[in-house]
Structure 1
């Protein structure tokens, strides 16, 4: 992040001179949103788990393309081995006008229906908060009224079907009112983002001319907890690691061999515990990077509004780890997380020393602390603990030669993104969002999660920003995912202003 960017960002957040009134176009966007909202409810009934059914994704893609087409928007399916992506275009700003590519994804996370507080995650449910609990109400209530704080519960209600339909609402606002946009609009809807977008780079390369643009806006992620208009300039990357520690050649009787041979579950637990101290800080040398956050960067991160007590209450924990001075500083640094542990079974209890123990980890990376660097540091740390690293299940000869054996398997995911805060696309988005809502936009340099921006940056070679439109407490990726209805309307308004705000050239 350049010093110039930091100064601009600090000025934006600290300035209280901004006094624009909320848009007088809100009645137009609300009318369009009310029409498209019914289609959004239908959209939620379509299962969309790409990792489970390619045919479901085919149906979702066809439905999305047809629905956009019904509203007069040019669409086509982009071939992608049975799970097509959707391309849409609304080019009425003129041939010399800038072009912005909007990216979102049609697929969603798998569901465990038993954990949802409704009959089916694929049937949208209206709920109203009463006495601190969400109470189901008939959808028919929405025919004559809506309260912005009411919510729709369903899989992909927020991530990411809502932004797709909000964008359709904004385009419908332009079309039905014969309003000329300030930019030409292109849309790319991914079909397997939740699966890591394995084919996104190939689809972009095959359609590079079609997808040519001046900048990319990703419609994904949650807004700031205050629900104020939010622009995100980057995100951490992600790398997956699987560690397997080997013990006896097969499960062995704990009575006959306990106290005699090492238990790989204890070995792995000890190794993992050594990777962090009691404050939650990673103990692997140089893990957080050779150049920690500068004083200027830290100051910028501290200017972002944050109610930490409310965040801890929502998460149900007493205190945060001490990696950063606050939440935003913490998620600007690389992280090391255990997301799974396994050694024999806790259901069918057997008194054995397991043959092996496994842990799955995820590493969140930054531009400097990139995937290859962090994996090398992890490997060196494990070696320093006396482990011999193998590439496959160890042979009997290796087992007799080394008392500590471990296999390390890695899957490199998306690289981190950091767009400069003074990039034209960011300044344009800030102006549009503040015009839409009549309040200062919150600019976030880096969000903690990961989205597949790398193929867009690498192939299109244009700046990328994220504009989240859904409520922060939407339970994405979890049971009872939901969308605050007011966000559907405010998201439509924000996107309308993006489409009608002149882009700097």
Structure 2
């Protein structure tokens, strides 16, 4: 069976690449109201393709934002049902002048296809659709039951997706979910992602005098808000990269030796070469991979206040602000972490200023699936076979909020199979996707869909 399906993909590669280019050429930028019709056009492209493949009940569901594509094929008796999730919206292409080719005129060069959405997420979504087509055209059926959920608002927070999943829970329910919206640790290195960090954030503003003051006339009498903010931030984390907020680590799961070994098998980035730093600074007692994948973090993302112009302006600023985010691990609740941070910031705030803490509304819990789950191990085996290299297992420092939503609503395993690479330039000029990953990735998906048909 696999051979016929893979041969179909090979024989039809040129046509499939042309169809992918047609998809990528639609400027479905969900953040820009000027592209609203283009976003709908991209959704319609997906819906039309699913109908052409032979899916049943293909819907372009209207929302208060951009439409959601739903489709199903449920004729594989006794086989499991997968909920395949992806998104067809893309980030803005600005700044255009930094692109080497037009962002919505796909171009293949140096073994990569360049276009906005090539990797995130149109290219990876299309790979699954092409595999569905290959199965239907050669076998007349899919090896498993599939429900498709492809949205047009992932890049703007998926605001309207979550209510739909909740209201139509039975319609979207499945045995497991499958998402390809991530990548590999390096090009050609098959990677099985079995966990994601959660996140939460705060904005802290320190207010002092009602206006900026002359530093010579008021220095020594008035607390400087920038200095006060610096003292607060310095008390949140020590020099060993350990967060000092009381209770921060209370719910953090201990790392087993088995999982530590699994993480440390993954190749690490050469940071001195790629981002020009003299050395790495993981939390004391943990390797870089362990800290990246499985330990919580606290970072100051921005800090501003006072004079920012050329030269000197001798003032005591009236206020100072910092933006803080935390990446969380399983066991940590975003709301609890926000409150712990807030309480501690008020506790350590110096005299002479007032502090205002704003809790950012966007947050997500961490996600982790057992790496020994058959759905995961079969994916790893299929990756190894198709890419010709042993699959490594990692947990990602980033977050995919929809994963938490699916986990909470349906209580099913989420299989994260990413084909992107670190060189893809996600959200940046010259986004691209390697064509050999396009080919090997589809071959892997053919094997995987066939393999999981027997998983109960």
TM-score w.r.t. structure 2 length? 0.88
**Which one of the candidate residues 388, 405, 408 is aligned to 1:458?**
408
State the Cα RMSD in Å. Answer: 2.7
**Which one of the candidate residues 18, 29, 42 is aligned to 2:22?**
42
Aligned to 2:302: 340
**Which one of the candidate residues 60, 70, 77 is aligned to 1:87?**
70
Which runs of structure 2 are paired with 1:457-496 in the superposition (5 Å)? 457-496=407-446
Q: Which moved more, 1:476-485 or 1:154-163?
A: 476-485
What are the superposed Cα offsets for residues 40-89 of structure 1, whole Å, 9 maximum, x if unpaired?
22222222332323444223212222233334444211232131111133
Aligned to 2:162: 201
Which runs of structure 2 are paired with 1:19-168 in the superposition (5 Å)? 26-53=6-33, 54-74=36-56, 75-92=58-75, 94-114=76-96, 116-118=98-100, 120-128=102-110, 150-168=111-129
Q: Sort the Cα spacing of 1:304 and 1:288 in 2 relative to 1 into closer, same or farther, 3 A.
A: farther
Q: Identify, as 1 or 2, the structure richer in helix.
A: 2
What's the CA shift for 1:242? 1.2
What's the CA shift for 1:293? 3.1
Q: Sort the Cα spacing of 1:81 and 1:250 in 2 relative to 1 into closer, same or farther, 3 A.
A: same
What are the superposed Cα offsets for residues 362-383 of structure 1, whole Å, 9 maximum, x if unpaired?
2111122221232233123213
Q: Which moved more, 1:195-204 or 1:48-57?
A: 48-57
What's the CA shift for 1:295? 4.2
Q: Sort the Cα spacing of 1:49 and 1:356 in 2 relative to 1 into closer, same or farther, 3 A.
A: farther
What's the CA shift for 1:296? 1.9
Q: Distance in 2 between matches of 1:210 and 1:436?
A: 33
Query: Structure 2 regions of 5+ residues with no counterpart?
Result: none
What secondary structure sits across from 1:233 in the alignment? Answer: strand
Q: Distance in 2 between matches of 1:348 and 1:56?
A: 43
Q: Sort the Cα spacing of 1:307 and 1:463 in 2 relative to 1 into closer, same or farther, 3 A.
A: closer
What's the CA shift for 1:286? 4.5
Answer yes or no: is 1:448 the counterpart of 2:410.
Answer: no
Aligned to 1:381: 344
What secondary structure sits across from 1:70 in the alignment? Answer: helix
What are the superposed Cα offsets for residues 231-251 of structure 1, whole Å, 9 maximum, x if unpaired?
212211111211111122233
Count of residues in correspondence between the two structures:
447
Q: Which moved more, 1:209-218 or 1:376-385?
A: 376-385
What secondary structure sits across from 1:270 in the alignment? Answer: helix
Q: Sort the Cα spacing of 1:431 and 1:288 in 2 relative to 1 into closer, same or farther, 3 A.
A: same
Query: Structure 1 regions of 5+ residues with no counterpart?
Result: 1-21, 129-149, 389-401
What are the superposed Cα offsets for residues 267-306 of structure 1, whole Å, 9 maximum, x if unpaired?
2233223323334333334534455633425533444231
Aligned to 1:365: 328
Aligned to 1:405: 355
TM-score w.r.t. structure 1 length? 0.80
What secondary structure sits across from 1:450 in the alignment? Answer: coil
Q: Distance in 1 between matches of 2:440 and 2:365?
A: 31
* Structure showing greater relative contact order (alpha-carbon pairs closer than 8 Å, 6 or more residues apart): 1
Answer yes or no: is 1:355 the counterpart of 2:314.
Answer: no
Contact 2:9 2:134 (8 Å CA) reproduced: yes
Q: Distance in 1 between matches of 2:31 and 2:39?
A: 10
Q: Distance in 1 between matches of 2:118 and 2:194?
A: 24
Q: Distance in 2 between matches of 1:257 and 1:45?
A: 60
Contact 2:6 2:446 (8 Å CA) reproduced: no
Contact 1:23 1:437 (8 Å CA) reproduced: no
Q: Distance in 2 between matches of 1:500 and 1:261?
A: 71
